[in-house]
């Protein structure tokens, strides 16, 4: 992993926010948003306090999308759940 500048991290934060804003789990299009989330996780300590709070807010939006979704669990959905560490009602139904 390259060392990322503050500007690059800001860019990934903005990108992650946009991916979540337009993401629908059944579209099977999560690789980019997962990529952003992983970069932000690896560089969490380099984020400003404000950006850390923004990341938590976006994660909450992502969690809500996953909680509201009641379709089949695809690969992207499973990966995002792991990334933001939540379980959904699909998991609870299966348990």
Over the range 55-92, which residues count as b (16 or more CB within 10 Å of their CB) and which as e? beebbeebbebbeebeeeebebbeebbebbebebebee
Residues 34-63 that bind other proteins (CB under 8 A): 34-36, 38-39
In whole angstroms, the minimum distance from the beta carbon of 65 to other proteins comes to 13
> Terminus-to-terminus CA distance in the chain, angstroms?
37
Position 73 contacts other proteins (CB under 8 A)? yes
The residue ranges that bind other proteins (CB under 8 A) are 1-2, 4, 8, 12, 14-15, 18-19, 21-22, 24, 27-29, 31-32, 34-36, 38-39, 72-76, 78-79
């Amino acid at each position: 992993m390259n060392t990322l500048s503050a500007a690059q991290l800001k860019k990934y934060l903005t990108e992650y926010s946009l991916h979540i804003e337009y993401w629908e789990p059944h579209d099977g299009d999560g690789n980019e948003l997962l990529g952003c989330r992983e970069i932000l996780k690896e560089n969490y300590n380099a984020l400003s306090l404000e950006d850390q709070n923004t990341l938590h807010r976006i994660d909450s939006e992502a969690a809500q999308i996953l909680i509201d979704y009641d379709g089949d669990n695809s690969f992207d959905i499973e990966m995002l759940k792991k990334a933001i560490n939540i379980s959904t009602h699909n998991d609870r139904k299966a348990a």
